[in-house]
């Protein structure tokens, strides 16, 4: 699946190469496992409301053995964080 980001990077080969290196460095296993990073990727994609990213990261996670139940939990956590953030923003309607 080609995303808008893919199309954008096609026009900027030097940026695409730098982004690829950044992605590989961040996604390589370190203190967090690949599995943990895949779940975080799905949650972040949900939190920022990017349908293309959510689909891409979910497909990759499923292909690597992560279950839909685990993805649902990660997505629910993202929804919880977004809800709290929305309440913090909404609190701006009140006078101090």
- Claim to verify: residue 53 and residue 68 sit in the same structural domain: yes
- Claim to verify: residue 37 and residue 14 sit in the same structural domain: no
Q: End-to-end alpha-carbon separation of the chain, Å?
A: 48
Question: In terms of residue numbers, what domain contains 15?
Answer: 1-30
- Claim to verify: residue 60 and residue 86 sit in the same structural domain: yes
- Claim to verify: residue 40 and residue 17 sit in the same structural domain: no
| pLDDT at residue 5 is higher than 90 | no
How many domains, the chain? 2
CA 37-74-41 angle, to 5 degrees, is: 35
- Claim to verify: residue 70 and residue 44 sit in the same structural domain: yes
Give the tens place of pLDDT for each residue, 31-72: 999 999 999 999 999 999 999 999 999 999 999 999 999 999
| pLDDT at residue 4 is higher than 90 | no
């Amino acid at each position: 699946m080609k995303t808008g980001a893919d199309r954008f990077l096609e026009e900027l080969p030097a940026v695409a190469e730098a982004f690829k290196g950044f992605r590989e460095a961040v996604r390589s296993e370190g203190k967090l496992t690949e599995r943990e990073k895949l779940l975080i990727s799905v949650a972040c994609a949900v939190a920022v409301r990017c349908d293309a990213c959510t689909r891409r990261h979910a497909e990759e996670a499923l292909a690597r053995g992560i279950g839909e139940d685990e993805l649902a939990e990660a997505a629910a956590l993202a929804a919880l964080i977004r809800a709290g953030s929305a309440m913090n923003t909404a609190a701006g309607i009140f006078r101090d």
